[in-house]
């Protein structure tokens, strides 16, 4: 094995060992497909976010440090890099959207927690709004609270979107 390979393996092991075990476990717990159970504020469509019938067909698919958001809209599903920090209270999660060339297009800075059997995400609707500090939707609609539940294997709601849910999304 060359010195360069040994150095790369050493760096990889050091980085892996540096990551808190809870962060690795948390990413594993996130793995899988999640559906939207609830969104707050309920009048989300007035702030530019899609309405609840559309959201019912979204699927958030976590795989390692990647999130893919499956939508009923035509075209490729958006993919985000996921960065978790459990040393913060509340725990933080960043969703980083990159161009095909790898440049950062935008970063959504959110907070998350597991409560009962649900994943709660509180996030701004745009990257200009700062990270929320509590699990509460903003009255002005700039911060939303998503409650996600793990999708059942036979959950087919995404496969048959309503006509109303086919409207374009405006960020």
Q: What is the CATH number of the domain that holds 102?
A: 2.40.128
Q: Which two tokens stand for residue 99?
A: 């161009």
The reply to whether 6 falls in a domain is: no
The reply to whether 15 falls in a domain is: no
Q: How confident is the model at residue 52 (pLDDT cuts 50, 70, 90)?
A: low
Beta carbons of 121 and 112 less than 8 angstroms apart: yes
The reply to whether 11 falls in a domain is: no
Quote the DSSP letter at residue 45: G
Range of the domain at 27: 21-166
The reply to whether 14 falls in a domain is: no
The reply to whether 97 falls in a domain is: yes
Rounded-to-integer distance, Cα 137 and Cα 44, Å: 10
Segment 120-142, tens digit of pLDDT: 999 998 888 999 999 999 888 88
Beta-strand (E) ranges in 53-131? Answer: 59-63, 66-70, 79-85, 91-98, 104-115, 118-124
SS3 state of residue 113:
strand
Rounded-to-integer distance, Cα 87 and Cα 83, Å: 12
Q: Among 38-42, 78-82, 84-88, 95-99, where is mean pLDDT lowest?
A: 38-42
Residue 152 or residue 110, greater confidence: 110
Positive or negative: CA dihedral 134, 140, 143, 148:
positive
Q: How confident is the model at residue 48 (pLDDT cuts 50, 70, 90)?
A: low
The reply to whether 8 falls in a domain is: no
Q: How many domains does the chain divide into?
A: 1
Q: Tell me, what's the pLDDT at 39?
A: 87
- Length of the chain, in residues: 171
Q: Give the mean model confidence (pLDDT) for residues 143-150.
A: 92
Q: Give the mean model confidence (pLDDT) for residues 42-50.
A: 53
């Amino acid at each position: 094995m060359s010195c360069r390979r040994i150095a790369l393996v050493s760096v990889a092991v050091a980085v892996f060992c540096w990551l808190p075990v809870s962060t690795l476990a948390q990413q594993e717990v996130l793995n899988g497909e999640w559906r939207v159970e609830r969104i707050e504020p309920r009048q989300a469509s007035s702030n530019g976010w899609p309405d609840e019938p559309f959201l019912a067909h979204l699927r958030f698919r976590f795989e390692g440090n990647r999130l893919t958001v499956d939508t009923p809209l035509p075209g490729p599903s958006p993919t985000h890099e996921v960065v978790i920090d459990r040393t913060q209270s509340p725990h933080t999660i960043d969703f980083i959207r990159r161009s095909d060339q790898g440049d950062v297009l935008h970063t959504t800075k959110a907070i998350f927690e597991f409560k009962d059997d649900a994943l709660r995400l509180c996030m701004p609707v745009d990257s200009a709004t700062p990270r929320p500090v509590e699990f509460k939707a903003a009255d002005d609609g700039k911060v939303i609270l998503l409650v996600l539940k793990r999708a059942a294997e036979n959950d087919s709601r995404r496969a048959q979107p309503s006509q109303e849910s086919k409207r374009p999304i405006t960020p």
